[in-house]
Amino acid sequence: MNTNRKKNPKPSPAVQFSDAAVYFLPYLRPTELSAVSSTSKTLNLLSKSITAARSSDASRTFEKLPVPFVISDHHPYAYFIYTPFQVLTFLSDDPPRQPWGSGFDGRPGLGLVGPPAAVEGGGGGCGCERCDGVVCSCSRVEVDGLRWECGSGCGCGSECGRRVGQRGVEVRLKIVRSGRKGWGLHAGEFIGGGEFVCEYAGELLTTKEARRRQLIYDKLASTVKRTSALLVVREHLPSGNACLRINIDATRIGNVARFINHSCDGGNLSTVLVRSSGALLPRVCFFASRDILIDEELTFSYGEAGLNPNGSKCFCGTSCCSGIMPSEPT
Ligand SMILES: C[S@@+](CC[C@H](N)C(=O)[O-])C[C@H]1O[C@@H](n2cnc3c(N)ncnc32)[C@H](O)[C@@H]1O
């Protein structure tokens, strides 16, 4: 019997560090990742595989379908924290870290405001297959006062054909880089007119905070050409005397909608405010305003163009382009 069996040698500190790296590298920001990757061959390989994962799905698996970046020149992906829903604002200037490749497990985290909670007991007779002829506690969710969707009580479950606006992105999308507009959201497949495309998700801000950030973004745009994604939507209340201002900033924390560029002709998306009876604020949703062909860029109008003669240049390329991007007066 051989009693001289060799024990497994203890891994060297370098190997131990590389083993641990797989856990912390996915949390690093691009500049940190690139700094770490230059320290050893192993870390370089690991960083490359993380970069490849980041380029292959901007949604970090939060959406049902991956949303790839179509890589061009030196821009493999854009870094931001992904949220499929509106989030309550982070007052800190340093948003939390989020690993790439962490699928959404359905539990609201990061201060998420989930999809609209339907109010129990409302609705009835929604006409869905499994609700027909029975008392339905569907709790309708109103879409812009004209259309409506089924609520969480619908007998068909979340797959109900009348709940598309609550399920996240279900059409194939991709993010393509163009020389003058930066990244843009494109159709990865044919999208029929009227189909739900996505919600505009990001940080919900007070108007005071939105104004503070807008000043910073305007400065960054004119100095270092940094893009921002702060959307301001005004909803005229039924009284006609008041207006609700909704500020959603998707610059640091947002979803695929943060890549939708402006078009002076109104583009191919219409903005619809979806209000659920249980929610304080409506959600801003995009529907295809006409049939959209595969590869076509998805665009909408950011607002009235040309109001600010010092605004940034518009490169929408449409025949009615005013040459200047619409900008929100602060
Ligand atoms: C919501 S982001 C859209 C995504 C952005 N292109 C990016 O690379 O992240 C808005 C920014 O995109 C750029 N942009 C959008 N539409 C544009 C247009 N028609 N012409 C020029 N730049 C545009 C502007 O820098 C604007 O501040």
Q: Is 227 close to ligand 1, i.e. is its CB under 6 Å away?
A: yes
For residue 103, the surrounding DSSP H or E stretch is none
CB 123 within 8 A of CB 136: yes
pLDDT at 106: 40
Ligand 1 close to Cβ of residue 229 (< 6 A): yes
Distance in Å, CA 84 to ligand 1 centroid = 20
Instruction: Give residue 21's pLDDT.
Output: 84
pLDDT of residue 108: 35
Ligand 1: which of 230, 325, 327, 328 to mutate, judged by most atoms within 8 Å of the beta carbon? 325
Residue 282: predicted pLDDT: 84
pLDDT means per 10 residues, the chain with 330 residues, are 63 80 88 90 89 92 92 84 85 76 43 35 54 56 55 66 68 93 96 95 93 91 86 82 89 96 96 76 92 98 77 91 81
Q: Residue 137 and residue 152: Cα distance in Å, rounded? A: 9
Confirm if 37 and 44 have CB atoms less than 8 A apart: yes
pLDDT at position 329, please?
66
CA distances from 318 to 197, 270, 310 (A): 22, 17, 20
DSSP state of 131: T
90 lines ligand 1 (CB under 6 A): no
Q: Show the beta-strand stretches assigned E in the chain.
A: 69-70, 81-82, 86-88, 112-113, 141-143, 147-149, 173-178, 182-187, 196-199, 202-205, 230-236, 243-254, 261-262, 269-275, 283-288, 299-300
